[in-house]
Chains A and B, each alone.
Chain A
């Protein structure tokens, strides 16, 4: 199944990317998931993963590419007002693409280490800043549940202050809108599309269960890169 969908994506993207690259505009394609859609069960169902990846993330990428094309045109023509008008579409769709790309890397099946607590410097930093991993998880769950409407909850490291922070963003705003020196380590999508089919309106249950498939290894790598 994964192979088949990979093939179709490639052929569809080929024509437009060729055209874009002629103009020197870098476009984006849907990144592959490093695991099967059903591999994250029972924390996140395969249906949700498939829809989330193939429909939602793909839509963000398509609209982002479109917005970039329009922006490119507007800049080439010197049309400042259109260029500024497109900013919200770029923030939304581009942010959606950026956030979801991080999200897929943040998840991993349980048998490949999902949910395993972080060791090394990240684990130590978590214990220092929050007391324990459980307390950090409780805090992130509380903030995630409190997000009104759609948004994300992040565990990030402030690369200037070398400190861990928990932040929330609204809609698809990327984390940098909350602070230019914030580097995301773990992001959890609390848009309803991320959990509705399985958990309906019980967002706290989704937040409790998603920690079983969180990829702390990836987070540790990023942390060690920013705070060696």
Chain B
């Protein structure tokens, strides 16, 4: 239990802000925020923002008893008093979740509060309000703690920052795909392009704490922003695309798909050679940089071939990709120079991993019902 004495003066609804009760603090200047009780924990500090009920000069006494805060106010003008209590949203170290409404109101505060020792900086509250810049985004799938975010702020982090996303190596050695994809290509494609994307993504995420906490899939969907991509989209999508691409290939790949995948291909394309022709043709008629995909369309419940430009992936349309072929020039230029047809054919004949595609389709069937239920008639 702890007591605190705060003094507030003004001619409007006011807020008393006080820092961690464990430290000495000065009498605080007050500011004008109209909000209800919010408890923010910057680092190990706890701070309570309390609105007072009166606009006349008054004396306030704030008592904190575990998760309940009592505010006792005496108005110095007419000696009326009031006592109210608030239930703190949380006393645990995870702090509390603030709704966007609260932040909207915080945004208009002219904050000028300092105290001895800890400086509760205006930038910190502004940082919280920067979240409004992305307020149209869907919030991440689990609650993110404002205090945690602030703890993770780069200026407050320890200097050896760890990456948010890591570069995953392909599951085969670099020379395993010779002579169809040379070791040199893999070294440059994975080691420089893919690695560059991951590092750029981590750099972007170090700046933007609103995007922290999403999984990569969610991050791609969120930054795609329904066709108006944010700058993080390209890098995030390319990281995902390349991970997917390495897994779509295997040493000793090619040949035919097996089991259910072959059946589904024959059902949706007529025959495997039709599918192969269509796939290679899509690869050749793609203008500029892009990807060719074998996707399972969720709505139509069938396989299809999709081509996308630059970094776009079928994930943004909520389809489930099964295979991909990188048609950016960096993927084939060292080995095949400008001969896209040769590259695409070699991919189909020797590189593509039907095992991976089969596994992905098996997983996809948990989300998409491909078969007709066998309902016996009479």
Contacts and interface: CB of A to CB of B under 8 A. Distances in A.
Interface of A: 51, 55-56, 59, 88, 92, 148-151, 170-172, 191-193, 196-197, 200-201
5 contacts: A92-B288, A148-B234, A149-B289, A191-B329, A201-B188
Nearest to B193: A201
B338 interface: yes
B332 to A, nearest CB: 10
Contact of B287 (A59, A92, A193): A92
Nearest to A91: B287
Interface in B301-334: 309-311, 328-330, 333-334
A82 to B, nearest CB: 15
B329 A148 contact: no
Contact of A200 (B188, B287, B290, B338): B188
Interface residues of B, number: 19
A193 B330 CA distance: 8
Contacts of B337: 51, 55
A196 B329 contact: yes
Given A149-B289, A201-B192, 4 more contacts: A149-B290, A149-B311, A150-B329, A192-B328
Nearest to B235: A148
Contact of A150 (B192, B288, B334): B288
B338 A148 contact: no
Nearest to A191: B329
A148 B333 contact: no
A192 B329 contact: yes
Contacts of B328: 149, 192
Nearest to A95: B287
Given A192-B333, A196-B329, A201-B188, A149 B338 contact: no
A148 B333 CA distance: 18
Contact of A149 (B309, B333, B334): B309
B188 A51 contact: no
Interface in B288-302: 288-290
Nearest to B285: A89
Interface of B: 188, 192-193, 196, 234, 287-290, 309-311, 328-330, 333-334, 337-338
A124 to B, nearest CB: 36
A92 B284 CA distance: 13
Contacts of A55: 337-338
Contacts of A171: 287-288
A55 B328 CA distance: 17
A51 B333 CA distance: 11
Given A55-B338, A201-B188, A196 B288 contact: no
A51 B289 CA distance: 18
Contacts of A148: 234, 310-311
A200 B186 CA distance: 12
B130 to A, nearest CB: 24
Nearest to A192: B329
Contacts of A201: 188, 192-193, 196, 330
B192 A200 contact: yes
Contacts of A149: 288-290, 309-311, 328
A172 B310 CA distance: 14
A196 B329 CA distance: 8
Per CB-CB distance, the 4 closest pairs between chain A and chain B, nearest first, are: A149-B289, A171-B288, A192-B329, A149-B310
A94 to B, nearest CB: 12
B290 to A, nearest CB: 7
Contacts of B188: 200-201
A201 B338 CA distance: 16
B333 A196 contact: yes
A191 B290 CA distance: 12
Contacts of B330: 192, 196, 200-201
Contacts of A88: 287
A83 B352 CA distance: 36
A149 B197 CA distance: 13
In this complex, which of A56, A149, A151 has the most chain B Cβ atoms within 10 angstroms of its Cβ? Answer: A149
Contacts of A92: 287-288
Contact of A172 (B193, B287, B309): B287
A91 to B, nearest CB: 9
